[in-house]
Amino acid sequence: MAAIKHSDAILLAALALPGVALAENPPEQASLSVSYLDYRDWQQNLDRIGVRSPSVELVLPLAGKWAVRGALVSDTISGASTRYHTAVSGASHFKEKRNAGDLSITRYFARASLTVDAGRSGENDYVSRFASVRGTVSSADNNTTWLAGIGVANDTINPVNLIVENERKHSTELMAGVTQVLTQRDLAQAVLTHVRGRGYFSMPYKYVDQRPREHDQDTILLRWNHAFGQHGVASRASYRYYRDSYGVRAHTWQEEVVTPLSNGWTLTPLARVYSQSAADFYFDPVYDRRLGPPFPPGFSFSDQRPRTADPRLAAFGALSLGLKVEKEIGRNASIDLRYERYRQRGAWRLFGTGSPGLLDFEARSIVLGLTVRW
Amino acid sequence: MRLGLLLAAGLLAGCAPLKPVQPWEKGELARPQMTFDTDRLGSAYAEHTYSSKEGAAGGAGVGGGGCGCN
């Protein structure tokens, strides 16, 4: 039989699938993916946090209408965290482990799907249990797919310094979205999410960190994938707007260009730009004259108003650049390596002024992955 | 923000601004790189590392629990 060109094979596959070009089709093959993350970050040449994290994911199609997916991840985190602003004390050094896993089952219908997922994440001082239900429905021509979902998470916090005991955090997530085929080469997606959080949101190991017990978050995510033509080159662009009840407003733009080469190689350069405003209760590194650091001016121990010196709630911008290299090995396996460099600066905040006194923050991550299909 | 809301509202309403694409015209769209949720493990790593050092998080869907890192 004459060999079928790769592009023809893709078109034939497209014609054969009822939900063509939309993600919610049953997987045709089982797959096992194994990944390993090596991450570290630093400030002014002082190493801060290092993470080593293997993970595994198994996807099994069942009877053409079902799929079961399970994933496990184990993080080993070590280093020194800041107590306030960028201050690191001898007591800040730590080493801890987090193990997490989730199991989901999906039922596929002619033009719809329903997924139920549940999981657990555990550390010695923090346990989270979560579950979600997600569904999709496609139009008769499969050019539009509507998405909806609800999720809950119940967290228990028992810090080793006993500053609180058996504190709880409960989150409810709602999501609605749509994926739309725009042209023969363009797919777009819009997703709205709302998270309602109640409970303990303070950081127990940071000084002078008192956060509201209500934390509501809203996001709009817009994604646009564009195929450039015969060679399989594709642009994957996204924009996310985020706002929360703390007063943080954030913009995230991301772009990656998937570039298939010969002999099964694919290169994917990526860039990400991020900018956020400060939380209403973040205070700059200016301290009370009498008490000194870490107390803000006018601080009183009986004052329970929200306040934080956590630089993650300051105003700043960030830029990351990365490259992913993939290699197909035969028909049913692939390996990939992703390198990313991340930089955060107060002066890089967009649409406003960054918080003063922030040290430049840098990170790099390397992810090695292997996927086998059968 | 307003532009984003308008775009999102338009897409949520399922308003396809251009002529419907036929099944035999979807060869390019069927490529794996055109799906939105490829490389779930890699995406999970990226989301976890970003959210541990930034104020914003989430947006792509529901599910997943909290951790002590943020």
Q: Are residues A284 and A355 in contact, defined by beta-carbon separation less than 8 angstroms?
A: yes
Residue B62 is given by DSSP the state: S
Among candidate residues A270, A322, A371, the one with its CA nearest the CA of residue A55 = A371
Give the confidence band of A93 by pLDDT, cuts at 50, 70, 90: confident
Largest CA distance in chain A: 86
Q: ipTM of this predicted complex?
A: 0.89
CATH of the domain at A39: 2.40.160
The answer to whether B64 contacts A153, with C-beta atoms less than 8 Å apart, is yes
Q: Are residues A131 and A105 in contact, defined by beta-carbon separation less than 8 angstroms?
A: no
Number of domains chain A contains: 1
The answer to whether A190 contacts B21, with C-beta atoms less than 8 Å apart, is no
Within a 10 A sphere around the Cβ of A210, how many other Cβ atoms? 15
Q: Are residues A284 and A291 in contact, defined by beta-carbon separation less than 8 angstroms?
A: no
The answer to whether B56 contacts A21, with C-beta atoms less than 8 Å apart, is no
Given a cut of 80, whether residue A106 has pLDDT beyond it is yes
The pLDDT value given to residue B8? 56
Given a cut of 90, whether residue A169 has pLDDT beyond it is yes
Task: Using a CB–CB cutoff of 8 Å, tell me whether B30 touches chain A.
Answer: yes
Q: Are residues A128 and A155 in contact, defined by beta-carbon separation less than 8 angstroms?
A: yes
End-to-end CA distance of chain B: 26
The two structure tokens encoding residue A81: 């965290």
Among candidate residues A322, A320, A313, the one with its CA nearest the CA of residue A344 = A320
Please compute the mean of the pLDDT values over residues A48-70 and round it to a whole number.
95
The two structure tokens encoding residue B64: 């997943």
Q: Kindly report which listed range (A19-23, A155-159, A166-170) carries the lowest average pLDDT score.
A: A19-23
Given a cut of 50, whether residue A315 has pLDDT beyond it is yes
Given a cut of 90, whether residue A84 has pLDDT beyond it is no
Give the B window 6-25 contacts with A, CB below 8 Å.
7-8, 11-12, 14, 16-18, 20-21, 23-25
Burial A47-62 (b: 16+ CB within 10 A, else e): ebbebebebbbebebe
Task: Using a CB–CB cutoff of 8 Å, tell me whether B2 touches chain A.
Answer: no
Given a cut of 50, whether residue A3 has pLDDT beyond it is no
Q: Which residues form the domain of A225?
A: 2-373
The answer to whether B33 contacts A225, with C-beta atoms less than 8 Å apart, is yes
> Which residues of B are less than 8 Å from A258 in CB distance?
33
> Searching chain B, which residue's CA lies closest to the CA of residue A52?
B45
Given a cut of 80, whether residue B17 has pLDDT beyond it is no
